[in-house]
Amino acid sequence: MSTARILIVEDEAVTAMAIRKHLTNLGYSVCGIAQTAELAVQKAMEEMPDLILMDIRLAGRRTGIDAAVEIKARSEIPIIYLTAFSNDDYIREAKKTEPYGYILKPVREQELKTTIEMALYKHAMEKKLRRSEEEKATILDAMPVMLTYINSDYTIRYANRVAAASAQRKPDDLIGARCHEIWQENAFGCGDCPVLRTIETGRIEEGDVTLPDGRIFHLKGCPVYNELGEPDGAIIFGMDVTEEKAAAEALSLAHRKLQILSSITRHDILNEITMIIGYLGILQCSVDERGDPEEKDYTDRIMGASQNIRRQIDFTDQYEELGVKEPAWLSLHDMIRKIPKGDIPIRSDCQEVSIYADQMAEKVFYNLYDNTIRHSGGATGIKIHCRRERGELVIVWEDDGEGIPADQKEKIFARSFGKNTGFGLFLSREILGITDITIHETGIPGEGARFEIRVPEGRFRISG
pTM of this structure: 0.50
CATH code for 5-139?
3.40.50.2300
CB distance 149 to 156 below 8 Å? yes
Q: What is the pLDDT of residues 297-339, one digit of tens each?
A: 888 888 878 877 877 777 666 666 666 678 899 999 999 988 8
CB distance 183 to 166 below 8 Å? yes
> What are the start-end ranges of the H helices in 48-159?
64-74, 88-95, 109-142
DSSP-assigned letter for residue 108: P
pLDDT of 319 reads: 64
pLDDT of 231 reads: 78
**Residue 433 exposed, middle or buried by CB count within 10 Å (0-12, 13-18, 19+):** middle
DSSP-assigned letter for residue 107: P
Q: What is the mean pLDDT of residues 220-224?
A: 90
Q: What is the pLDDT of residues 201-219, one digit of tens each?
A: 888 888 888 888 889 999 9
Where is pLDDT greater, at 168 or 310? 168
Helix, strand or coil, per DSSP, at residue 285: helix
Fold of 328-462: Heat Shock Protein 90 (3.30.565)
> What are the start-end ranges of the H helices in 319-442?
332-337, 361-375, 424-433
Question: What's the rounded Cα separation, in Å, for the pair 294 and 59?
Answer: 129
CB distance 431 to 357 below 8 Å? yes
The strands making up 231-240's β-sheet, listed across from edge to edge, are 156-159, 146-150, 231-240, 216-225, 205-210
- Those residues with Cβ within 8 angstroms of residue 145's Cβ, 6 or more apart along the chain or in another chain: 162, 237, 238, 239
The strands making up 51-55's β-sheet, listed across from edge to edge, are 29-34, 5-9, 51-55, 79-83, 101-104
Q: What is the pLDDT of residues 41-97, one digit of tens each?
A: 999 999 999 999 999 988 888 999 999 999 999 999 999 998 877 677 777 888 888
Report the chain's mean pLDDT, rounded to a whole number: 86
DSSP-assigned letter for residue 354: E
* pLDDT tops 60 at residue 421: no
pLDDT of 125 reads: 94
CATH code for 143-240?
3.30.450.20
